[in-house]
Amino acid sequence: MPFDPTLLAQARHVLVFTGAGVSAESGIATFRDKLSGLWERFDPVQLASADGFRADPALVWGWYEMRRAGIAEARPNPAHLAIAELATRVAQLTLVTQNVDDLHERAGSRDVLHLHGRLEAFRCFDCAKPVRNMPAPAKHAGEGRRIAPPRCAYCAGPVRPGVVWFGESLPGHTLERAFAAAEHCDLVLSVGTSGLVQPAASIPRLALAAGATLVHVNPQPVLTGHPREFALAATAGEVLPALLQAAWAR
């Protein structure tokens, strides 16, 4: 049975759960897409773990500067804008993202729950003090360019990006709020995620189990095994604006 868009207009509390695919049409690479995915070309153990940073801080910092420069140049796409617009139409919207970019905020979304941190939330690797007022990302921070990380003003430790690396815990309060929303929402839009990284990936399924309708937005096929589970197979930038229009057509 196809998804009935009026269910979106009738929902009181919508949980929007996003992954790298929501930013793909802004020109930001996903992680696991074939050919274009970051983890096809780069080693996550080297670039997204505390051990990797310890072993070669300049390699890791250079890679995040490259990503930061890409994010700074990118603009929110119609999917980010539709999600911000949706928040003005439903009684309650909780936006949970696995992304470390700020494109949801730049599209106008407020109170975004960043489960995997934010790239720009820099802190000292050694003493964990926040580091503010970082200069703009290094220009021409190309692939493989090594850049020594700046040093902490308090302890001279290396500065690290504010992302959750493999083996690290997710921010507890953010995760709690995301789980609470999953238990209480009526409808989940799960947008542009492979659903492979736990515990984040359990959030849409938890909502489904608690009685919500679950709608996947992904150009790749997503298996739907539950009567309240649907898949809209096109890009987020195509699906979300059209979905809003259809939901509030009358």
Q: What residues make contact with ligand OAD under the rule CB under 6 A?
A: 19-21, 24-25, 30-33, 37, 98, 100, 116, 163-164, 192-194, 196-197, 217-220, 235-236
Cis? peptide before 199, omega within 30° of 0: yes
Q: Is 69 annotated as a binding residue?
A: no
Nearer to ligand OAD, 133 or 169 (CB): 169
Q: Are 37 and 116 in contact (CB under 8 A)?
A: no
From the list 80, 104, 114, 116, the catalytic residue is 116
What CA–CA distance (Å, rounded) separates 238 from 24?
A: 12
Contact 32, 229 (CB under 8 A): no
Quick one: tokens of 81?
């804008």
Residue with tokens 């207009």: 9
Does residue 101 have a known ligand-binding role? yes
198 contacts: CB under 8 Å, gap ≥ 6: none
Q: Which is nearer to ligand OAD, 55 or 196 (CB)?
A: 196
- At its nearest, how many Å lie between ligand OAD and the CB of residue 194? 3
- Check: CB of residue 166 under 8 Å from CB of residue 160: no
**Is position 127 annotated in a ligand binding site?**
yes
Rg (C-alpha) for the chain, rounded Å, is 19
Q: How far is the CB of 118 from ligand OAD (least distance, A)?
A: 11
- Residue 220 or 245 having the CB closest to ligand OAD: 220
Nearer to ligand OAD, 151 or 242 (CB): 242
Measured at CB, which residue is nearest to ligand OAD?
Answer: 21
Residue 194 assigned ligand-binding role:
yes
By C-beta, is 103 or 250 nearer to ligand OAD?
103
Instruction: Tell whether residue 239 is among the known ligand binding residues.
Output: no
Phi first, then psi: give them for residue 248, nearest 5 degrees: -110, 35
Kindly give, in sequence order, each residue whose CB lies less than 8 Å from that of residue 71, ignoring residues fewer than 6 positions away.
Answer: 28, 101, 102, 103, 119
d(CA 215, CA 204): 9
Residue 37 C-beta: closest distance to ligand OAD, Å: 5
- The reply, when asked if residue 154 is annotated as ligand binding, is no
Q: Which two tokens stand for residue 183?
A: 């238990």
> Could you tell me the smallest distance in angstroms from the CB atom of residue 178 to ligand OAD?
13
116 is catalytic: yes
Start-to-end Cα distance in the chain: 22
DSSP state of 195: -
The annotation places the binding site for substrate at 64, 67
The residues that are catalytic are 116
* Known binding-site positions: 64, 67, 98-101, 124, 127, 152, 155, 192-194, 218-220, 236
